[in-house]
């Protein structure tokens, strides 16, 4: 028998209104960007696993799009995915930004946690770096009174890296005992191709207005090395729903598309460790969010 102390491991997910910082917190805990983030609601479109290794064990954090009113077939499929994740995890972290009063949306989400009696529940007051002391105190009290069964209530900042260790340690105490689920050094179960596609989508989301974000999908046609592995060619498609959107994405004389490419390349190069030649092609798939066949092709 080994005399090493028992480790703990398990699954955690964060819930909360769009934009409260679920993906940012996931990345901050993992210590590397595994989930893309933006100031546009519904940036996250998949269940992405980020792995956190600590001496006491391992947390597998599942970042999801969050539940929202489905307006399209894509929206319905994403809600189903989130339901499934919530039913499986060992702990759920409920996020509220310190900067905004707790509202009906927060109350509804907090109440919906009744549906997951098996999961431990932790309330998290986030964005403390941009909140006043009074705001933080007020939010902690508001959040505390939302449920009787919080295992902990923790204020933190994912951006300023405040109290992240406190959260990780607390979550670990709530996990079942068991060995690590992923090998040391693994930060996500996302494939390289999927991570690259998400980086490109994030770059494309920057600077676009209200409706467009929901209409953008990214697919990768080919990734290949050349020049003795010193250069990587990546052929990717930016898929939109309408011709008018295609024009917006491309921009005047291709200026927007060029900027998207440059932003994406700056993140892809350190990820794969070579120079990258990124060829972006904008494609229209009419109303893809409502079309089961197109959704299938885009991986939903
Ligand atoms: N100042 C500050 N901003 C944050 C923090 N966490 C997230 N944000 C910002 O809030 C916005 C939404 O974050 P995101 O993680 O995409 O939210 P999600 O929709 O809940 O996944 C982004 O612009 C983040 O940079 C934080 O701790 N402090
Ligand atoms: Mg997100």
The mean-pLDDT minimum among 33-37, 146-150, 260-264, 281-285 falls in: 33-37
Residues 200 and 235 in one domain: yes
> What is the longest distance spanned by two Cα atoms in the chain?
68
Residue 180, domain member (yes or no): no
* Spacing, Cα 19 to ligand 1 middle (Å): 6
Higher-confidence residue: 255 or 65? 255
Same-domain pairing of 47 and 115:
yes
Instruction: Give the least confident one: 143-152, 169-178, 244-253.
Output: 244-253
Residue 267 or residue 229, greater confidence: 267
- 36 pLDDT higher than 50: yes
pLDDT of residue 60: 97
Question: Does the CB atom of residue 43 touch ligand 1 within 6 A?
Answer: yes
Residue 24 and residue 168 in one domain: yes
Can you tell me the distance from the alpha carbon of 170 to that of 153, in angstroms, rounded to the nearest whole number?
A: 10
- Ligand 2 centroid–CA 104 distance in Å is 20
pLDDT over threshold 50, residue 82: yes
pLDDT at 41 over 90: no
In the predicted structure, residue 81 carries a pLDDT above the cut 80: yes
Do residue 156 and residue 212 come from a single domain? no
Report, as an integer, the average pLDDT of 13-40. Answer: 91
Residues 196 and 167 in one domain: no
Question: Are 202 and 241 in the same domain?
Answer: yes
pLDDT at 3: 47
More confident: 97 or 39: 97
Tell which residue, 262, 196, 221, 222, has the closest CA to residue 36: 196
Asked if residue 63 is part of any domain, the answer here is yes
Calculate the average pLDDT of the chain.
92
Query: Which among 23-37, 114-128, 286-300 has the top mean pLDDT?
Result: 114-128
Residue range 257-276: average pLDDT? 96
In this structure, which residue's CA is closest to atom 3 in ligand 1? 127
Q: Are residues 204 and 118 in the same domain?
A: no
Give the pLDDT of residue 210. 64
For the segment 154-159, the average pLDDT, to the nearest whole number, is 98
Question: Is 98 near ligand 1, meaning CB less than 6 Å away?
Answer: no
Q: What is the mean pLDDT of residues 188-207?
A: 92
283 Cα: distance to centroid of ligand 1 (angstroms): 30
* pLDDT bucket at 211, cuts 50 / 70 / 90: low
pLDDT score recorded for residue 132: 98
Ligand 1, pocket-test mutation among 14, 15, 21, 62, most atoms within 8 A of CB: 21
Check pocket membership of 20 for ligand 1, CB cut-off 6 A: yes
The answer as to whether 1 is a domain residue is: no
In a domain, 262, yes or no: yes
The answer to whether residues 19 and 161 belong to one domain is yes
Query: Do residues 248 and 147 both lie within one domain?
Result: no
Domain-located, residue 111: yes
What pLDDT does residue 4 have? 59
Tell me, yes or no, whether 17 and 164 share the same domain.
yes
Instruction: Provide the CATH number for the domain around residue 69.
Output: 3.40.50.300
**Residue 185 lies inside a defined structural domain of this protein:** no
DSSP string, the chain: ---SPPPEEEEEEEE-STTSSHHHHHHHHHTS--S---SSTT---S-EEEEEEETTEEEEEEE--------SHHHHHHHHHHHHHHHH-SEEEEEEETTS---HHHHHHHHHGGG-TTSEEEEEEE-GGGS-HHHHHHHHHHHHTT-S--SEEEE-BTTTTBSHHHHHHHHHHHSPB---SS-TT--BSS-HHHHHHHHHHHHHHTT--TTHHHH-EEEEEEEEEETTTTEEEEEEEEEESSHHHHHHHH-GGGHHHHHHHHHHHHHHHHHHTSEEEEEEEEEE-TTGGG-HHHHHHTT-
Looking at the fold, whether 169 and 33 belong to one and the same domain comes out as yes
Residues with CB under 5 A from ligand 2 (ion): 22-23, 44
Question: Does any domain span residue 39?
Answer: yes
Mean pLDDT of 219-245: 94
Number of other residues whose CB lies within 10 A of the CB of residue 86: 19
Q: CATH number of the domain at 291, please.
A: 3.30.300.20
Domains identified in the chain, total number: 2
Per the domain annotation, does 114 fall within a domain?
yes
Pocket test for ligand 1, best of 15, 16, 19 (most atoms within 8 A of CB): 19
Specify whether 119 is located in the same domain as 207: no
Structural domain that includes position 211: 192-297
Where among 121, 144, 173 does a domain terminate?
A: 173
What is the arithmetic mean of pLDDT over 92-121? 96
């Amino acid at each position: 028998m080994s005399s090493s102390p028992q480790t703990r491991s398990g699954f955690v997910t964060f819930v909360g209104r769009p934009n409260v910082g679920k993906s940012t917190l996931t990345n901050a805990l993992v210590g590397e960007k595994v989930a893309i983030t933006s100031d546009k609601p519904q940036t996250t479109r998949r269940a992405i696993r980020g792995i956190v290794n600590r001496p006491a064990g391992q947390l597998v954090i599942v970042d999801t799009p969050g539940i929202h009113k489905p307006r399209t077939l894509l929206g319905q499929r994403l809600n189903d995915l989130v339901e499934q994740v919530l039913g499986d995890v060992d702990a759920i972290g409920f996020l509220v930004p310190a900067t905004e009063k707790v509202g009906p949306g927060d109350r509804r989400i907090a109440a919906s946690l009744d549906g997951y009696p098996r999961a431990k529940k932790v309330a998290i007051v986030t964005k403390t770096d941009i909140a006043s002391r009074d705001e933080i105190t007020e939010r902690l009290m508001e959040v505390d009174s939302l449920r009787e069964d919080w295992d902990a209530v923790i204020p933190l900042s994912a951006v300023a890296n405040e109290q992240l260790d406190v959260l990780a340690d607390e979550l670990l105490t709530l996990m079942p005992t068991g060995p690590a689920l992923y090998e040391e050094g693994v930060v996500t179960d996302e494939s390289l191709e999927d991570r690259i596609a998400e980086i490109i989508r994030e770059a494309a989301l920057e600077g676009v207005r209200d409706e467009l974000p929901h209409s953008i999908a990214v697919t990768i046609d080919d990734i290949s090395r050349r020049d003795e592995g010193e250069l990587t060619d990546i052929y990717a498609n930016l898929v939109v729903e309408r011709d008018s959107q295609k024009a917006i994405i491309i921009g005047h004389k291709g200026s927007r598309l060029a900027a998207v490419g440059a932003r994406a390349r700056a993140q892809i190069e350190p990820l794969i460790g070579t120079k990258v030649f990124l060829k972006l092609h904008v494609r229209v798939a009419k109303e893809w969010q409502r079309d089961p066949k197109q959704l299938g092709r885009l991986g939903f």
